[in-house]
Structure 1
Amino acid sequence: MSSKVWVLGDGQLGAMLAHAGKPLALDVRPIDIMQPTDEQLPLATDDIITAEREQWPESALSLQLSTHHNFINGPVFGRLADRFTQKSLLDQLQVATAPWELVDNYSTSAALHAHYGARVLLKRRTGGYDGRGQYWLKQSENTAIPDDWRNFAIAEQAIDFDEEVSLVGARAQDGKCYFYPLTLNLHQDGILMASIAPLARLAPLQSQAEQMLSTIMQGLDYVGVMAMECFRLGDKLLVNELAPRVHNSGHWTQAGCHIDQFQLHLRALCNLPMHRPQVNFQCVMINLIGIDRDDRWLSLPNAELFWYNKEVRPGRKVGHLNLSVHHRVQLSDSIQQLKVWMPQQYQAPLEWVMAEFFRT
């Protein structure tokens, strides 16, 4: 294959896409589109364009990429980047999601509380991932809608969920869909801290999740990997967010599966043969958030380190660890060692991992 795959964005997802393309001899080129530039790329007519993010600033470079006729899923990114149009799509497709409405000039806190209860979550329509861009209306505190959020936010009913799960799947150009097992996720301050997959107790929800994500991908005529984050309420799932790209909660596939989410995405884009990824063993993914690299992590016999080579700042994703679960004793030993090496913010997530593996 002589065509190139260009990626709008050159963060860690773009870097991992480029890495995944090498065994297939795919020339994957992540592009920094966050800095204004008049640069033009040598795009060929048969080149393929994808994105590692839902939004990007407009520039000559980003326009050249996003208007290319092989920009796969071009109309989808903007539609899913806006929570108003994303939630509207879910309602249109009759895929379950939290009750919601647009916050406009006529919205009042009293009316929102009457519709959705004592606690109502406001979410900015665009941006605001990893816990940002959210505001709670609390009836007990008489909180008001911020004036500059009107028409730029949606209001959602607070969901008293049991836990958070996600499904990563892919749709091929022929319309066939392929899925990884459901992943159990733990968030702290709105940021994903740890994921576990697969878990036998989530298997009864797999077909429900696959049907929901299939409906979404087919409805959008989507090609490639998409992630669907859900709340679990008993034996029912509600969609929380959609991501039209490879996703943080799918990083475990790099260690646990014979085809990871990055290669599966490239296979779909390039119309290469696809099949359901084989799971080789359970895996735990630990996000590395705002902490310095510690080479002692590499001494763990079941650990793979992915370091993004970013400047370390509080709250910033700078890497992740994948821990292969060959047996629980080895996992327990690794988690106990990480508890010694990692700061306080990791103690609860590491305890959560252990509790999930040893729950009866």
Structure 2
Amino acid sequence: MPTVWVLGAGQLGAMLKQAAYPLALRVEPVEPDSEQLPNIKDDDIVTVEREQWPDTPVTRYMSQQASFMNADIFGKIADRFHQKTMLDSLEINTAPWCSVEVDTKAAALHAELGCDVLLKRREGGYDGKGQHWLYQDQGGDVPADWRGTGIAEKKIPFDEELSLIGARDQDGKKVFYPLTLNLHRNGILMASIAPLSRVAHLQDTAEAMLGKIMDSANYVGVMAMECFRVGEQLIVNELAPRVHNSGHWTQAGACVSQFEMHLRAVSRLPIKAPEVRGYSVMINIIGVERELDWMKIPSTQCYWYGKDVRPGRKLGHINLNHPEKSALQTALHELRELLPEHYQDVFNWVETELARA
């Protein structure tokens, strides 16, 4: 089996490495600023855990390999201007938008996009960063440091946030996980729930959208599509050409996790429709010290990333899975007591939505 080299050595790379063991694959995450170039052989594979990377000797070397998977797609997705342009060309629903040029005025943006306009950096800016709101009733113009560096989007009054994780192999076969319901706070994903029978009727529509995107790019591997649900309509918010935070629940809740599925796809191993096991909830651990008692709760699967604890930093996640909602609700009640007060609204949301699932 070849070695799969992963550009980026964060938690996603570590979980890809863990998922490789049953496949008899060797996975080697590589820090972009490493001082040593990886020894990539002709039959090895290069993939990523991120769609953006700094310009370093390592990233130049890895991204220039003939075996670098999906090399053409990253520039289209990492830059929101190109991502939005691609979605428009495919006639896939996304929020109305326009480019913020060096001479763009707030009045013009409001005239085109409405009273509330969200500025987003063309590159970067995940987890609630790299965003700036322009409210017409508050006045104010486009900040100088946003001119020529961003896009502007119309505010979408969405009902809820859903995501779809899909995978495509080199022969064009595609498989998908169930739609996942997500809760964000200040732009950071806090919790996910899947599957939900009440949104199952939107599954075919979501699969057609993501499938069209992957086919158009001849994409190989796992891709995530984050959407707003507005009534019965899905509007694409962001794409991620990699394994994704909102797919972490698949580690406990599916016969093949998103991490294993990605490795299967890029290494020409068979991909298959993932059999879903019961109900799953994922709780992101943000800026909170590790608590070993999390591991004592039945139905939980705890991941700790080994990072220094800092406010707002993703430090781990907890998957909860069980065939019975009642057992999952009991586990959530126990976990609630072991997380800080500011998590209480997260648990309130999870318990309400789980009951509706």
Q: TM-score, normalised by structure 2?
A: 0.98
Q: Is the aligned partner of 1:303 residue 2:300?
A: yes
Give the partner amino acid of 2:105: T
Q: Distance in 2 between matches of 1:216 and 1:359?
A: 30
**1:28 is matched with which residue?**
27
**1:210 is matched with which residue?**
207
**1:192 is matched with which residue?**
189
Question: Which of 124, 127, 136 is the matching residue for 1:127?
Answer: 124
Aligned-residue CA RMSD (Å):
1.0
What SS class does the counterpart of residue 74 from structure 1 fall into? coil
Task: Give, in angstroms, the shift of residue 47 of structure 1.
Answer: 0.6
**2:41 is matched with which residue?**
44
- For residues 309-334 of structure 1, the C-alpha deviation after alignment (integer angstroms, 9 at most, x for no partner) is 11111111000000013322222222
**1:153 is matched with which residue?**
150
Q: TM-score, normalised by structure 1?
A: 0.97
Q: Distance in 2 between matches of 1:328 and 1:254?
A: 18
Task: Give, in angstroms, the shift of residue 299 of structure 1.
Answer: 1.1
Task: Give, in angstroms, the shift of residue 76 of structure 1.
Answer: 1.1
Question: Which of 256, 260, 263 is the matching residue for 2:257?
Answer: 260
Q: Distance in 1 between matches of 2:44 and 2:223?
A: 21
Q: How does 1:1-360 map to 2 (within 5 A)?
A: 1=1, 3-33=2-32, 35=33, 37=35, 39-359=36-356
Contact 1:49/1:65 (8 A) holds in 2? yes
Task: Give, in angstroms, the shift of residue 302 of structure 1.
Answer: 0.5
Contact 1:131/1:191 (8 A) holds in 2? yes
Contact 1:284/1:325 (8 A) holds in 2? no
Task: Give, in angstroms, the shift of residue 143 of structure 1.
Answer: 2.5
Query: Which runs of 4 or more aligned residues in structure 1 lie more than 3 Å from their structure 2 counterparts after TM superposition?
Result: none
Q: Distance in 2 between matches of 1:162 and 1:143?
A: 29
What SS class does the counterpart of residue 194 from structure 1 fall into? strand
Gaps of 5+ in 1: none
Contact 1:120/1:155 (8 A) holds in 2? yes
Q: Distance in 1 between matches of 2:3 and 2:45?
A: 6
Contact 2:198/2:356 (8 A) holds in 1? no
What SS class does the counterpart of residue 156 from structure 1 fall into? strand
Change (3 A) 1:106 1:15: same
Task: Give, in angstroms, the shift of residue 36 of structure 1.
Answer: 5.7
Task: Give, in angstroms, the shift of residue 139 of structure 1.
Answer: 0.8
Q: Which moved more, 1:174-183 or 1:104-113?
A: 104-113
What SS class does the counterpart of residue 89 from structure 1 fall into? helix
Q: Which moved more, 1:287-296 or 1:57-66?
A: 57-66
Contact 2:8/2:48 (8 A) holds in 1? yes
Q: Distance in 1 between matches of 2:140 and 2:189?
A: 27
Contact 2:278/2:324 (8 A) holds in 1? no
User: In the comparison of the two structures, how many residue pairs are matched?
Assistant: 357
Gaps of 5+ in 2: none
Task: Give, in angstroms, the shift of residue 279 of structure 1.
Answer: 0.6
Task: Give, in angstroms, the shift of residue 138 of structure 1.
Answer: 0.5
What SS class does the counterpart of residue 355 from structure 1 fall into? helix
Q: Distance in 2 between matches of 1:319 and 1:165?
A: 21
Contact 1:4/1:27 (8 A) holds in 2? yes
What SS class does the counterpart of residue 175 from structure 2 fall into? strand
Q: Distance in 1 between matches of 2:34 and 2:144?
A: 31
Task: Give, in angstroms, the shift of residue 49 of structure 1.
Answer: 0.0
Q: Distance in 2 between matches of 1:338 and 1:282?
A: 16
Q: Which moved more, 1:14-23 or 1:105-114?
A: 105-114
